[in-house]
């Protein structure tokens, strides 16, 4: 393991410091109320927004980057088709998607989270649809509970976490199948090759039919077509 920073060392020491049971019980009880408060606020605000698509991707993508412009255009096209856009509220791909939603005229939702290295929330969220979370698990539930589809742009660990959470819920039938779209095949193909070669053919840890849980596309029009085509079969209509 790499050498720990002073801040990391202090956090570990604090986590394993000897604590008396009354103090533990009190801390846990108040933590439960804080978690409940985040759920209540999320349910209250998001239950009224209408059908939305969540767009995931890297917070490090800069304006002018092809992935930034691709996310912005994708969100704008979806927005013009009547779909709201949900993002994590931060910079990069999230900013691009919220900006596209603002340009398209639909709901622009930001599920912000307090992080030490990502302090700014983007300016393109609707003020009445801006939420702030301390807990990743509450935030992820809000993404998936109130999204009728997800579009996954290139990103890092957080993006992969959100992608595989969605795939797991559909694979295990914990939520109904919905469109999951991966954008930019050149970025995703190495991961898909590993899934096919190692997880499916070599170890049989994944079923071949699990590859049908998502669709890979290369441009904004294709991404939007996947979402719209899926819901042509159902009576759901955007209602903003």
pLDDT tens, residue by residue, 222-239:
999 999 999 987 665 544
CA pair distance 196, 13, nearest whole angstrom: 42
CA pair distance 87, 11, nearest whole angstrom: 29
Please report where in the chains the tokens 């030490």 appear, as a residue.
Answer: 116
Q: Above 70 in pLDDT, residue 27? A: no
Where along the chain do its domains lie?
48-231
CA pair distance 196, 211, nearest whole angstrom: 9
pLDDT tens digits, 60-97: 999 999 999 999 999 999 999 999 999 999 999 999 99
CA pair distance 220, 197, nearest whole angstrom: 29
Which H or E run contains 217? strand 215-217
Number of Cβ within 10 Å of residue 213's Cβ equals 16
pLDDT tens digits, 106-140: 999 999 998 766 657 899 999 999 999 999 999 99
pLDDT tens digits, 151-188: 999 999 999 999 999 999 999 999 889 999 999 999 99
What interhelical angle do 21-46 and 136-145 show, nearest 10? 20
What is the CATH topology of the domain spanning 48-231? Rossmann fold (3.40.50)
Helix (H, G, I), strand (E, B) or coil at 181: strand
CA pair distance 17, 127, nearest whole angstrom: 41
Q: What is the 3-state secondary structure (H, E, C) of 73-141?
A: HHHHHHHHCCCEEEECCCCCHHHHHHHHHHHHCCCEEEEEECECCECCCCCCCCHHHEEEECCHHHHHH
User: What is the rounded average pLDDT for all residues in the chain?
Assistant: 90
CA pair distance 126, 62, nearest whole angstrom: 21
CA pair distance 33, 134, nearest whole angstrom: 13
Beta sheet of 149-152, edge-to-edge order: 130-133, 108-113, 84-87, 52-56, 149-152, 180-183, 215-217
Q: Are 29 and 21 in contact (CB under 8 A)?
A: no
Residues 6+ apart with CB under 8 A from 99: 72, 75, 122, 124
* Structure tokens given for 167: 């795939």
CA pair distance 86, 206, nearest whole angstrom: 29
């Amino acid at each position: 393991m790499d050498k720990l920073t002073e801040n990391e060392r202090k956090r570990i020491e604090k986590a394993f410091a000897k604590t008396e049971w009354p103090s533990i019980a009190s801390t846990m009880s108040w933590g439960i109320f804080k978690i409940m408060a985040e759920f209540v606020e999320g349910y209250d605000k998001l239950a009224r927004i209408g059908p939305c698509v969540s767009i995931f991707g890297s917070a490090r993508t800069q304006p002018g980057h092809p992935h930034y412009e691709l996310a912005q255009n994708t969100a704008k096209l979806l927005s013009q088709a009547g779909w709201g856009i949900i993002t994590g509220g931060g910079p990069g791909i999230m900013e691009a998607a919220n900006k596209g939603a603002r340009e398209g005229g639909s709901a622009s939702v930001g599920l912000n989270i307090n992080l030490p290295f990502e302090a700014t929330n983007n300016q393109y969220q609707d003020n009445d649809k801006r939420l702030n979370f301390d807990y990743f698990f509450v935030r992820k539930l809000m993404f998936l509970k109130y999204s009728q589809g997800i579009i996954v742009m290139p990103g890092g660990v957080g993006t992969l976490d959100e992608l595989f959470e969605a795939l797991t819920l559909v694979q295990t039938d914990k939520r109904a199948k919905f469109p999951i779209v991966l954008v930019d095949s050149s970025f995703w193909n190495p991961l898909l090759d590993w899934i096919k070669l190692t997880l499916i053919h070599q170890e049989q840890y994944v079923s071949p039919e699990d590859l049908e849980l998502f669709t890979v596309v290369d441009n904004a029009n294709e991404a939007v077509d996947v979402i719209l085509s899926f819901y042509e079969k159902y009576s759901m209509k955007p209602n903003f």
